[in-house]
Structure 1
Amino acid sequence: MLISLLSNWFHLLPMITQQPFNPSPSPASISFSETWHLLGPFQIGTREATWGADPLEQIGGFRSLSYNESDSYRSSLAVNGTVGWSTLTAESSSSAGNPGNAKAELLVRFDNTDWQSLQSVYGWAALQYQGWARGKITVGGNQQRTVVFYTDQVLEFWIDDEHQFGGDFYGYRRAPLVLHLGPGNHQIDIRITRDVRAMGGVGEPTVRIGLEAEISEGGLKLVEGTVLLPDMVDGRLVSSLGSVNLRNEEHHWIDVLSLEAVNVSFTLAMKENPPFRLAPGQSRPLSFDVALAYDAAAEVVFEITYKVEHSTEVIRTSQVRQAVHSREAEEPQKVTYLHPGGIVSYAILRPPSAKALRYACPNASLAVVIGLHGAGVETDSDLVRQTFKDAPDLKAWVLFPSGVTTWSGDDWHRWGSADTEAAIAAIPEWIKTVGWNGPNADINRRLVTGHSNGGQGVWYALTHTPDNIVGATPVSGYSSIQAYVPYSFWYEADPGVNAILQSALADYRHELLLPNGCGIPIHQQHGSLDDNVPPFHSRRLSQIQSQIDCPSEYVELPGKGHWFQGVMTTQTLLEFYAKVLGDRPAPASLSSSFDIVVANPGTMGSKGGIIVDQLTTPGRPGRIKAEHDVKQSIWHLKTSNIHRLHFSAAAARDWTRSKLVVDGKKLELLRDVPLSGQWLVHRPNESWEVSCDSLWRNRQRHGRQLGALDAMLDTSGRYMLLTSSETLSLAVQVSRNFFQYFGADAEVIGPDQLNPTEGGNRVIMSLGSAGLMPATAGRHDTIFVDEKKGLCVRGSNGRLAVYAFTEGLGAIFLRPGTNGSLELVIWAFDLLGLRFAARMVPMLTGVGQPDFIVVGQECAWKGAAGVVALGHLDNSWNVAESSAIL
């Protein structure tokens, strides 16, 4: 089977040997060079690095250049329009005198640019730049070593002739690169990418890069410090799931056979049926069930057994200990649960206090206050746990989702929003587990709060799940990705390309989606001296709300900055919480007039009970204006760019009591069919009809399949990464990026290992002119390979755009999987093109990748301006030619 062939191709992973392998023992040592050579700065736009856009690629790339003080290169950022080489001394050290561990810190600055002048014209966009740094890593002794390599604040780098994209831009340190380096010197070329969202816009625009290399003895690494366990209350665990990160530091595949508790107080069991496989160099999270056997022990001690491929020996890892924290019943406590992506995540839950319960109705179900953290904040921290310390008796359940990572991976959007929903769903399970006898949680009645990036997350929740929101308090939040740091420094592109990139980001343009939040109490708060998220963002949204007759409260705090103690419990916020969470909240009622704006039906919940299933033209927002004629008991819906909609079951009474007129046509909802089984469909002849055909979902794009490439983040189950021996190295790199940036799990397998019934989204890597791997959901020929002609893209009118096989040609696109899942196909004519297409797999927010992209060599230096073709796919998986460039 192909999976066996993959295991024999471990040498395709990063393995660089500069001297013949010598098996004799030698001292293990590793070090970084103190002197590094710099070249830069060069212009780059907000989040543009994913697209390439490196001007040095036009002349062969930085790796082809040699240090020469007299050489100069054109740059739009530097004085006189040219830049040259400079040197930098790194701060290097070894770990506690251990020669097998080395660290280097590079503080990068470029003094050949008038940053103040640029910023005065272009704002924060001018404080973003790119450049390159070259140094060496030296392996001592006379034999090859396995090296674990960490790259904090680095997105892209080369080690000798091996290219890596993804790195560890946010410094998560979750999935380092595993290298096999021969003795001697190895060249490291690091692409410096300064990003205001990640590194700040105040002060001198420097970049601080952290490198660490550690010699490994190989085997399976059970990573200490990554064990996730629930808290304990009154001698019982509050939930039953845990996880730990594993890393394969071997040359070969590893099969994990078991996970066993050493101390008898706990029982542990892997959630996956063994073997749990890791490719060479791969990191994965291992999920397990955990239960308390007979007493309240203070820690869990466990170990793992595994086998290395081609060996019959069963190996045990070193034991790992993890404390289990005991909490009081009213304290914030850690609850674990399954994220839809199949991994274990956690949230901090604070039940209602005894004082709050004294004044609650006996049979009440209390609302849930959701607190979304800012960028770089760990949910399991005193900073988060004490957020509502000054509001101890809120008549609500208080929940702080983690978003899986400290950045909530994708800014509380698809991946982070799914985590929030899973955390909310875990509250009823907590009630059962701990035997809670107080008021239940009304998980569909939510007061959503958040600070900074979490404040932006509040706007996302408000505009995407309005029927579940009873109040919103975005604090110090930014209005949208595009508004935070302008995209003005991108390489100049065809306006049509820019339009498609922006349409791929429209679902996060909250300024356009504000009508969805009308009628919901909103209280904005911002410090007047905030230099992290300027108060302009809140002022702007407040102004737009007033212009669309959507009143809200806005308070600007004089002399206050971005963060201060008690920022979430100011007097005005406490008053707002009390008002929204009153003793007798008014029952939800349908407004007689409201608007809906939908950028992506796949992420949009209901508004007024209306759920939009499909748009007519992707890439353009759809709109509905609903008005109720009370006297005649008629609902009038006026639509634009809406193809299919239905009504939620919860809104059945509101919509079945009245007559319905859609775009001037009277429609009769069927009385003998449940409302959730009826769809209003806009036919090509401009007429609307009521349809009970539920099989449309087998033929057309729907649900979590909708959206741009980042629809891949909306998965039900772990990712399946289908690869071959030729593409294994890149597959592991994609897997590492999924895990690094989202905490997501991806299983690397061969195509004959795929179980078609598994619900998780799939990534398929294909190379060469022989064709693409067949779609698991059946025939799909919108984008295909003709071995004689080239890559073919079929338009909706049948017209075929053909791109001849050339060096660097590649493509990445969505197609349907089984059971409503997605397949993300990464194809290229050669490894150069495959490497470039693979870097487009969603990783950072704000990149703007549409449904399909055809890349060529010019992308390396032009970025998105160099694409061969790109655009959106329609409801039938055909190219939407009005939203594409072919």
Structure 2
Amino acid sequence: MVIKHNGKTNPLLSFSNTWDILGPFQIGTREASWGADPLECLGGFRALEPDSRAEYRSSLAPNGLVSWSYHQLDTHAVDPTVAEAVLIVDFPEVDWRFLQSVYGWAALQYQAWARGYLEISADLPQTITFYTDNVIEFWLDNKLYFGGDFYAYRRAPLVLHLAAGKYKVDIRLVRDVRAMGGIGLPNVSIKLKAEISNGTLAMVEQKLLVSDIVDGTLASPFASIPVRNETRGWVDILEIESLNATCVAGMLENASLRLAPGQSRPFPFLLSVQGPSFEPLSLKVTYATSEAPESLLSTVIFHKFLERTIHSPHKFTYLHPGGIVSYAILRAPSNQAICEVKDSNLPILLNLHGAGLEADSKQVRHMLDPVPDLHAWVLFPTGVTPWSSDDWHTWGFADVEAAIKAIPDWIKIVGWKWPSVDADKWLVSGHSNGGQGTWYALTHRPDKIVGAAPVSGYSSIQSYVPYQTWAEADPRVTLAVQNSLRSFRHELLVRNFNGIPIMQQHGSADDNVPPFHSRRMNQLISQSSDDPCHEYRELEGKNHWFEGVMSTPLLRKFYNEILGNGTEPPQLPQKFGIVIANPADIASCGGLVVDQLVTPDQLGKIEVAQDTTTAAWVLTTSNILRFHFTPTGTSMSFTQEIIVDKGSLNLPLGHERFECWLVRSEEGSWHVSDDRTWMMGQRYGAQLGPLDSILHTSGRFLIRISSKEIFDTALQVSRNLFQYFAADSEIVDLNTDAVLRQGNVISVALGPDLPESVPWFHSINVLADHGLVVRKHNGQKRIFQFEEGLGAIFLRPLPLGRLELVIWGYESCGLRLAARLVPMLTGVGQPEFVIVGKRCTWAGAAGAHAMGSFDNFWSLSETSFVG
């Protein structure tokens, strides 16, 4: 319906032109997920009304006081069924330059609040999709929505069902240097969009993911499209079929895909294309709704194939371990490279893109065009999203390895008859965030890397924008938060890549990632090895990005040197070291794989030397409980004789094929064991690590809920997983059997009960008549009485090495606080368990009742904080 007045069309949706602003207030790097809003001491911004005479305490403003102001919308584009608003907010009265001179970029981060209104002028209630670019948290008509769309992905907008009227919109403005930059006036720019929906199943056609056609062949059968349930009931997608005679489409799984009301999910399917010509694709999707289950509905989506030559960079798809379809850009070896290498299997040159870039963008796809004849397969992974989901870490790096594993499938599909791929030999390069990803690859997958070129990359999350402006907390809290991030603190892990050739390149005038990061890593590498195989070059006057940054003469020479020597594995030094932050993240180093640490709260270390006379390996360990050997391409041979912490051991034949473990006793002596029963009741593999270990899922997430009252929380978790990781999740009843599923489980519960756990987990429980019970490492119990704001989020084991993430709240406030800590943005620092309280709303992590780690037996570690 369109309303007309005096012959003019009036919009059905509109945002207010003037917005009331209150701020700025202090906030630390990625602290917003913990709460940390000082206005919560006053009942929250939602409880305040604009008052020109009112003043509020702030550590950022002159005289320590801030007051209300207002801003006009910078743009206000209106369509009868669409309303858009761009709001740019700054605070010129604050002396940002002085603050930055003391605290650096951390001082340019702040939070504020903005209030405006969304007006609906239609006669009938409307279904509305609501997009919130660069927003992490907002209240709409006094209802909280956490997660938003901080990176402006527009993958999972909110679905609202609203009657006519004027709705208050309170938006928490969070300025984040990593996302918004540290140069120029530190303003915050957000974009809102409200659009009237037809209230059906939405297929996001512009985000349809299909492989390219490569010399007449579809490069991969896997395809996917985001779907969104804009009805008020549940939707089941039943079938997909092609309307083209030359194409066949089918469901990826036998079961239907179910969407909860308001839920967005990726819909994966299979495609097969036959014939010499490729007409635009037409696909019919059939679905049913719970509102009218007897009626089958359908929609048609269209796609025009892109055709590429086999040697040009092209898109191919594959399955991510999380059960979703992802893609990478692949460039096969050129004809000249094929002629020069003849029958050798060629290594892979991995190029990791920077933050905010699609791998399929012109900038990334053609980044290495100036070096067309490299003796390698050139792979541009996406990491699932333009921000690589989590900075090329857990979820993003799983995507890298899935893309590598998919190349042999590509070879079969397109009929490639020339040199194959050596999937265990990588030359890794990357720019900016991709440069940091290169450090991650070096520290976590060293045995696969024949060379690396981190370009203009930051050294670690914590070093990019420091954390000193977080709310002041007990040092044990700070320790727990930072401990949960230590696997990404590459400065601590440089020992892992001794002997690997590295070429660092950085512009001397880089104002995005200051050259200090590369200089520091250069210094640490030099200090960690007697004979470092690395070189550092600073390009005079060059900024962060310039045309040809990844193909400078310096890098071309390095690529050709690494790839032109037959890619012989790097020579392991006679002495090298291993530093383990989380055994689940770090693969073999020098053929050694650490399975367990003695305590999870400190780094594990192994120093290795080879006796020049006997060739025996001599190992000195610190905080290592269990490790084993694995075959590797390094040139240092395995031996049966090994000395560990001055004790001599003889290993059985075949030990390098993972037939035994070396295990440390409580007394400190070592023995060889092939007993596998330790995996029953102990943490191992992907179960190790902080909350983001839940991202090690094999299959889609299963979100279980105990009642209708917590459906909104489950929907928020699902939306955020899809928004920030493109991850898939299914919302089901808590009684659904999770044992038979493949993926990890997220259980959401409210009230004086918790869902049952496996028998060997006793650390955190709820007693209906007492409160939340935390059992310390010494067996003592700490009971937190039921009260407003009490909640918990923690990991629990599932059989076969899987994980369950529990989100529990005594009442709605506690549940909301716990749910905020589900992994979403990197750098938040979520330990393995957190007990939250209402004080977290204004004090952030400093307001938590308890947090820390579990040991190898799922008991609280000794250093965990329990208030």
Decide: shared fold, TM above 0.5: yes
Q: Are residue 76 (structure 1) and residue 59 (structure 2) matched?
A: yes
Q: Write the deviation string for residues 681-700 of structure 1: whole angstroms up to 9, x where unpaired.
A: 11111111111012222321
Is 2:481 the partner of 1:498? no
Give 3-state SS (helix, strand or coil) of 1:744's partner.
coil
Question: How big is each residue's C-alpha offset from its partner over 1:274-321, in whole Å with a ceiling of 9 and x where there is no partner?
Answer: 321100100000000110133431422112111110413434343211
The offset of 1:144, in angstroms, is: 1.3
Matched, 1:834 2:809: no
Residues 582-633 of structure 1 deviation map (CA, whole Å, 9 limit, x = unaligned):
1433345543211000000000011110000011111211000001102022
Letter in 2 for 1:206: N
Q: 1:47 is matched with which residue?
A: 30
Which residue of 33, 52, 67 corresponds with 2:50?
67
Preserved CA contact (<8 Å) 2:498 2:572:
no
| 1:423 match | 403
Number of aligned residue pairs: give it.
Answer: 856
Gaps of 5+ in 2: 1-8
Verify the 8 A CA contact 1:71 1:84 in the aligned structure 2. Answer: yes
1:124 and 1:291 mapped to 2: Cα distance? 51
Q: Secondary structure at the match of 1:102?
A: strand
- What are the within-5 Å matches in structure 2 for residues 555-574 of structure 1? 555-574=537-556
* Counterpart position of 2:488: 508
CA drift of 1:672 comes to 6.9
1:557 is displaced (CA, Å) by: 0.4
Equivalent position of 1:450 in the other structure: 430
Alignment-derived partner of residue 228 in structure 1? 209
Match of residue 522, structure 2, among 517, 542, 547: 542
Per-residue deviation, 1:29: 0.9
Q: Alignment partner for residue 659 of structure 2, among 668, 671, 677?
A: 677
Please give the TM-score of this superposition, normalised by the length of structure 1. Answer: 0.95
CA distance in 2, matches of 1:597, 1:757: 36
Q: Deviations over 1:683-742 (max 9, x none)?
A: 111111111012222321111111110111111100000013121111001000000000
Would you say 1:437 and 2:420 are equivalent positions? no
* Selected match of 1:700 from 678, 682, 686: 682
Give the Cα separation in 2 of the matches to 1:225 and 1:620.
Answer: 46
**1:641 partnered with 2:644:** no
Amino acid of the structure 1 residue aligned with 2:44 = G
Tell me whether 1:411 sits opposite 2:383 in the alignment. Answer: no
**In 2, Cα distance between equivalents of 1:555 and 1:653:** 29
Give the distance between the partners of 2:606 and 2:245, measured in 1 at CA: 60
Residues in 1 aligned to 2:519 and 2:74: alpha-carbon distance in whole angstroms: 43
1:788 aligns with 2:766: no
2:111 alignment partner in structure 1: 130
More moved, 757-766 vs 55-64: 757-766
Separation in 2 of the partners of 1:72 and 1:101? 36
Determine the structure 2 residue equivalent to 1:402.
382
Give distance in 2, aligned partners of 1:454 and 1:823: 31
Match for residue 242 of structure 2? 261
Partners of 2:665 and 2:10 lie apart in 1 by 74
Q: Does structure 2 conserve the Cα–Cα contact (< 8 Å) formed by 1:757 and 1:819?
A: no
Please tell me whether the aligned partners of residues 222 and 269 of structure 2 are also in contact (alpha carbons under 8 angstroms).
yes
The residue identity in structure 1 corresponding to 2:750 is L
Q: What does the per-residue CA deviation read over 1:321-358, in whole Å, with 9 as the maximum and x for residues that have no partner?
A: 11111101110111100000000000000000001111
CA distance in 2, matches of 1:632, 1:483: 43
Q: Tell whether the 8 Å contact from 2:458 to 2:464 is kept in structure 1 after alignment.
A: yes
1:378 is matched with 358
Q: Which amino acid aligns with 2:468?
A: S
Partners of 2:32 and 2:539 lie apart in 1 by 36
Could you tell me how far 1:673 is from its partner in structure 2? 6.6
Matched, 1:166 2:147: yes
SS state at 1:649 partner? coil
% identity of equivalent residues:
51
Contact 2:630 2:656 in 1 (8 A): no
Who is 1:811 aligned against? 792
Q: Which AA in structure 1 matches 2:24?
A: P
Determine the structure 1 residue equivalent to 2:729: 746
Bigger mean CA offset, 519-528 vs 255-264:
255-264
Query: How large is the Cα RMSD of the aligned pairs?
Result: 1.5
> In structure 2, which of residues 549, 557, 573 is the aligned counterpart of residue 575 of structure 1?
557
Contact (CA 8 Å) 1:592, 1:627: kept in 2 or not? Answer: yes
Deviations along 1:776-823, one digit per CA (max 9) or x if unpaired, are x44522111011111011122211111111111000000112321110
Name the residue aligned to 1:765: 748
- The equivalent of 1:11 in structure 2 is none
What do residues 204-229 of structure 1 show as CA deviations (whole Å, max 9, x unaligned)?
00111000000112010011201000
In 2 relative to 1, CA 255–837 (structure 1 residues): closer, same or farther, beyond 3 Å?
A: same
SS state at 2:658 partner: helix
How far 1:671 moved relative to its partner? 2.9
Q: Is the partner of 1:225 in helix, strand or coil?
A: helix
Q: Deviations over 1:50-100 (max 9, x none)?
A: 0000000011000000011110000000011100000111134345xx311
- The equivalences for 1:117-516 within 5 A come to 117-360=98-341, 362-516=342-496
| Pair 1:711-2:665 in alignment | no
Whether the 8 Å CA contact 1:618–1:883 is kept in 2: the answer is no
Kindly report which structure 2 residues correspond to 1:859-870, keeping only aligned pairs within 5 A, or say none: 859-870=840-851
Residue 581 of structure 2 corresponds to 599
Matched with 1:885 is 866
Paired residue type of 2:516: F
Q: Is the 8 A contact 1:662 1:688 kept in 2?
A: yes
Question: Aligned partners of 1:597 and 1:296: how far apart in 2?
Answer: 54
Q: Which runs of 5+ in 1 are unaligned?
A: 1-25
Does the residue aligned with 1:873 lie in a helix, a strand or coil? coil
Give the Cα–Cα distance (whole angstroms) in 1 for the partners of residues 241 and 654 of structure 2.
Answer: 55
**C-alpha distance in structure 2 between counterparts of 1:27 and 1:276, whole Å:** 39
Q: Does 1:110 align with 2:114?
A: no
> What SS is found at the alignment partner of 1:93?
coil
